[in-house]
Amino acid sequence: MKKVYLQADNMVSSLGLTTREHWVNLVAGKSGIKETSHKRIGSVWVSEVDNHNLEKAFLKYEIPEKATRLERMAAYSIKEALEGSNLDLKDPTTGFIFSTTKGNVDFLKTREALNELDSSLALHSTAKKIWSMCGGGNQNPVVVCNACISGLMAIIIGGRLIRQGVYDRVVVCGADEISDFVLTGFNALKALGSSACKPFDAKRDGISLGEGCATVVLTRDANFEGIEYVDGAVSNDANHISGPSRTASGLLQVVEQIWDGTEPIDFISAHGTATIYNDAMEAQGFNRLGMEDVPLNSFKGFWGHTLGAAGLLETIAAVQSMKEDLLIKSLGFDELEDAFPVSVLKSNRMTEVNQIFKTSSGFGGCNAGAIFKKND
Amino acid sequence: MTEHIHLHSTIQLNSRMLASGSKVLWENVNDKDLNQSLKEVYQLLDMAYPKFYKMDNLSKFGVLAVEALVKVAPELKAGDLEKTGVFLMNSSSSEETDEKYLATVNTEENSLPSPALFVYTLPNILIGEICIRHKFTGEQGFFVSDHFDSGFLYPYLEHLFQNELLEKAIIGWVEVKDEEPVAKLMYVKNNQDGGAKKIKEEAMKNWFQA
């Protein structure tokens, strides 16, 4: 099987506009989730990307103005990830995968404003526009719209397309914004937490919505053999459209498919939304898999749940932990629930990290998991 | 390289008819409206599945079409359901339901937007509904494209079949935003059992574009 490596990456969230900035803030235990007031909902805890810093970054990378904030953010993220690489995005051996749940949905009630920006609600148009803003060619983008596993699924698809010989390298980008649409929806579902989210904590009571964008460039070029994408899988637990399986069957199926237990997993970057049901499902799953002693965190205590960008942002942070041999604590976690013990990180830990596991789960019963390893 | 993708059967559902291959299974007589038509097809398929009435149009269309496909190809219900995948595409994602949900947000001050509608503002909920109904638990994906992107899906499926991650898959185009809502599905598998025949990308593309 062809080897697939991680060539470059970028992270955009409340914690910064580069992977480096994120890492500094992760090590320092800084959260970007803040309390704000929403005209319909009232007090709400969210993680927002700073517009002032974004504008400066757009100027520096000459991101065209005639586009939506989401499109500009994604174009910036791709350009920043590829900075100094001389990669020609018109090269037909380079593919583009874009993950998002809602794209430009904030313009649903103001379509005229969207027309003026030559943008569209159609997600494939959004992806094509982002690609062309970055100098991309005629490659048809693959747009993954699969709820909260979209970002991780996009990486898995990229790895598979390279292994199948469709592309030599794939630019994988994911983005979602905080919109009234999504915020009122999660509020209606009573899924928003009463404070900054507390993944895996016994007192957790819901998510903090976040926005962000992230890019990973996958390649089969052995010059980049530092970190390898090993394998990934997707499943459906066929249980309920808005709640996870009570037996964690979807997660178990994914792990059984990609991990035979021979090479140890040193760290799990869990989905950890801080809803009662998701975290309980994951804890049960890891426990039943005999992974209860593997150090685990959720990065959502740092930048909230960034939906279509989540799997990408969290994968990059987890890979950075492996590169630095430094595991990051699960921010917001204090006390474990009794039912299914797992090893949630209460403080940062210096340790050798050679192989990691990233999971995501989402509405519609979907689960995804992927393994990455270090090549020393 | 030998292709692994074999076509077993197809389903087409729109407001005028339900058909499998050249066989017409239902026709809309007397110009019934969409709701009446869907109900008639639901009864024809003998579903008795009350959850159906709670679904949005995208899910109703897709779930009915898959129900018909399973009737045409009962072997979909047998075997290893972990190795049965579902891959769907359309051009508008969940836009029809997005608009309906937004209308509930924009009403008077103290009314709560509809949580039931909000859940359907993700197009992959349709895949969830199909999986719940038939207990398929394999690989899946919802993709948004302005055409049926066989250039991506064909080699992607090939990869999943070659590496034995899947044995069977339902692939399709389900779009309800257009003037003419449509669900077009193919049941494909990694072998020729049950009369399945090898299909090349060109033929797959042509069928979906016809």
Task: Please check the confidence at residue B111 and state whether its pLDDT lies above 80.
Answer: no
C-beta separation of A342 from A336 below 8 A: yes
**pLDDT given for residue B57 in this prediction:** 96
pLDDT digits (tens, 9 = 90+) for A293-307: 999 999 999 999 999
A122 touches B: beta carbon within 8 Å: yes
Task: Measure A204 CA to nearest chain B CA, in Å.
Answer: 21
Neighbours of A347 (CB within 10 A): 9
CA distance A171 to chain B (A): 15
Q: Does A39 touch chain B (CB under 8 A)?
A: no
ipTM of the complex, rounded to two decimals: 0.97
pLDDT for position A36: 97
The pLDDT of residue B109 is 63
- Side chain identity at A337, as an amino acid letter? E
Residue B1 reports pLDDT greater than 60: no
The two three-digit tokens of residue A58, written as one number: 């757009």
| Host H or E run for residue A306 | none
Distances (CA, A) of B68 to A194, A274, B24, B79, B161: 45, 39, 12, 19, 24
The pLDDT value given to residue A74? 98
Q: What is the pLDDT of residue A40?
A: 86
Give the model's pLDDT for residue A376: 66
Residue A178 has pLDDT above 60, yes or no: yes
Residue partners of A10: CB distance under 8 A and separation at least 6: A17, A18, A19, A77, A78, A80, A81, A214, A215, A316
Mean pLDDT, rounded, for A198-226: 97
Backbone angles phi, psi at B195, to 5 degrees: 85, 15
pLDDT, tens digit (0-9, with 9 covering 90-100), for A223-237:
999 999 999 999 999
Q: What is the pLDDT of residues A266-278, one digit of tens each?
A: 999 999 999 999 9
CB burial readout B18-34, b (16+ within 10 A) else e: bbbeeeebbebeeeeee
- Residue A338: the pLDDT is 82
Instruction: State the pLDDT confidence band at A56, using cuts at 50, 70 and 90.
Output: very high
With an 8 Å Cβ cutoff, are B124 and A366 in contact?
A: yes
The per-residue pLDDT for B3 is: 83
Are B141 and A102 an interchain contact pair (Cβ–Cβ within 8 Å)? no
Q: Is A163 on the interface with B (CB under 8 A)?
A: yes
Position A42 pLDDT exceeds 80: yes
Give me the percent of chain B exceeding a pLDDT of 90.
91
Average pLDDT value for residue range A17-43 = 96
pLDDT (average), residues A166-180: 97
Mean pLDDT across chain A, nearest whole number? 97
Record: contact A234-B140, CB cut-off 8 A = yes
pLDDT at B163 over 80: yes
Distance from CA of B41 to the nearest CA of A (A): 23
The answer to whether the CB of A366 falls within 8 A of the CB of A149 is yes
Q: Is A235 on the interface with B (CB under 8 A)?
A: yes
Out of B91, B128, B143, closest to residue A241 by CB: B128
Q: Give me the mean pLDDT over the B176-193 stretch.
A: 94
More confident: B109 or A79? A79
**pLDDT grade for A375, boundaries at 50, 70 and 90:** confident
Q: Is B99 in contact with A125 (Cβ distance < 8 A)? A: no
pLDDT at B149: 98
> B33 pLDDT exceeds 60?
yes
**Residue B108 confidence class, pLDDT cut points 50, 70, 90:** low
Distance CA A116, CA A355 (A): 47
Contact B141 A157 (CB under 8 A): yes
- Over residues B131-157, mean pLDDT: 98
pLDDT band at A344 (very low <50, low <70, confident <90, very high): very high
**Residue in B91, B128, B165 nearest the CB of A364:** B128
Distance CA A344, CA A25 (A): 19
- On the question of pLDDT at B179 being above 90, the answer is no
CA A114 to CA A120: how far, in whole Å? 6
Q: What is the mean pLDDT of chain B?
A: 95
**How many interface pairs between A and B have CB atoms less than 8 angstroms apart?**
155
How confident is the model over B36-58, as a mean pLDDT? 96
For the record, the structure tokens of A126 come out as 């959004």
- The pLDDT of residue B106: 74
Mutate to test the interface with A, among B4, B52, B124, B161 (most CBs of A within 10 A): B124
Q: Give the rounded percent of residues in chain B with a pLDDT score beyond 70.
A: 97
- The pair of structure tokens assigned to B146 is 């302005």
Considering only CB atoms, A108 lies closest to which of B82, B98, B144, namely B98
Residue B46 has pLDDT above 90, yes or no: yes
Residues of chain B positioned with their CB less than 8 A from the CB of A234: 139-141
Contact B89, B172 (CB under 8 A): yes
User: Rounded mean pLDDT of A166-179?
Assistant: 98
| Contacts with A257 from chain B: Cβ below 8 Å | 165
Judged against a pLDDT cut of 60, whether residue A135 lies above it is answered with yes
Of B131, B144, B152, the CB nearest to A123: B144
Give chain A positions within 8 Å (CB) of B161.
none
The band of A123, judged by pLDDT with boundaries at 50, 70 and 90, is: very high
Closest CA to A359 of A292, A280, A297, A303: A297
Please say if the pLDDT value at position B105 is more than 80.
yes
Quote the percentage of chain A above a pLDDT of 90.
Answer: 97
Please report residues of A whose CB lies closer than 8 A to that of B142: 144-146
Q: Do A235 and B139 lie within an 8 Å CB cutoff? A: yes
